Amino acid sequence: SDLQKQEERGELLQPLIFVLLVLCSVLLYFKVSLMDPGFVKPEEEEGEDKGQGVVLPQIPGDIKPRRCGYCLVKQPMRAKHCQLCQHCVRRYDHHCPWLTNCVGERNHPLFMIYLSVQLVVLLWGGHVAWSGLYFEQSWEWLQHNIFLLMSFLLILIFTIVVLLLLVCHLYLISCNTTTWEFMSHHRISYLRHSELENPFDQGIILNLWRFFC
């Protein structure tokens, strides 16, 4: 049959890989949006501060962990209360409206993987849409290709957004800082009173290693 001949020629491999990437992207979306981003539990001890390790001595000693004014838990270093989630989140990065969930200590690496897979899917889809366009200066051509042209433009917009978001997050991760710390440096006590501009920075390689591994 025609399907068997296409399989023998390897013509079905690329569509299959594309479908698997789309499926992987959807599964990652639900995983990141539904998982615990690192909520601070009320029963956790005051001195427990995961993920800071050797960088804590660089923070001024007069800065003490404070109690959140909303949920009344003792906030570890780099935690922040999210009023949309109604929880304090460890290593809070931002609240993502697309995920309807916070990006924090636990789901930030998966969020980066999700963005990477999504970017590959968008680039692939954009290539497919572009390859189907044959431009002609006629009204009849526009009527027959308007849907494909709009699809390509929409894919292009999303590709630019995802690419910029991925690059920005990779830069922040390489500096061992978060979106919240980068945007609100002047309002965060442990950064405002620190002698170093970024007391958590341990070099690009070690920052990336600690984040992803």
Q: Show me where the domains of the chain are located.
A: 2-36+98-212
Q: Which of 22, 8, 1, 51 is nearest to 123 (CA)?
A: 22
Q: For residues 197 and 126, what is the distance between their CA atoms, to the nearest angstrom?
A: 41
The separation between the first and the last C-alpha atoms of the chain, rounded to the nearest angstrom, is 48
- The percent of residues above 90 in pLDDT, for the chain, comes to 55
**Known catalytic residue: 85?**
no
Q: Would you list the DSSP string of the chain?
A: -HHHHHHHTTTTHHHHHHHHHHHHHHHHHHHHHHS---BPPTTS-TT--TTTGGGGGGS-TT----B-TTT-PBPPTT-EEETTTTEEETT--EEETTTTEEE-TTTHHHHHHHHHHHHHHHHHHHHHHHHT----SSHHHHHHHHHHHHHHHHHHHHHHHHHHHHHHHHHHHHTT--HHHHHSGGG-HHHHT-SSS-TT---HHHHHHHHH-
- The percent of residues above 70 in pLDDT, for the chain, comes to 79
pLDDT in tens, 116-144: 999 999 999 998 888 876 666 666 666 77
Q: Which two tokens stand for residue 37?
A: 């981003």
Q: For residues 89 and 92, what is the distance between their CA atoms, to the nearest angstrom?
A: 5
Q: For residues 90 and 153, what is the distance between their CA atoms, to the nearest angstrom?
A: 38
pLDDT value for 57:
43
pLDDT value for 160:
97
pLDDT at 62 over 70: no
pLDDT in tens, 64-113: 678 888 888 888 889 999 999 999 999 999 999 999 999 999 999 999 99
pLDDT value for 50:
46
- Specify the pTM: 0.82
For residues 66 and 165, the model is more confident at: 165
- Count of CB atoms within 10 A of residue 148's CB? 14
pLDDT value for 52:
44
Q: Which of 106, 94, 128, 100 is nearest to 22 (CA)?
A: 128
Assign 176 a pLDDT band (cuts: 50, 70, 90): very high
Q: Which two tokens stand for residue 186?
A: 């002047």
Measured in degrees and rounded to the nearest 5, phi and psi for residue 150 equal -65, -35
Highest mean pLDDT among 143-147, 174-178, 185-189: 174-178
Highest mean pLDDT among 13-22, 39-48, 86-95, 138-147: 86-95
Q: Which of 96, 102, 168, 213 is catalytic?
A: 96
CB-based contact 131:115 (threshold 8 Å)? no
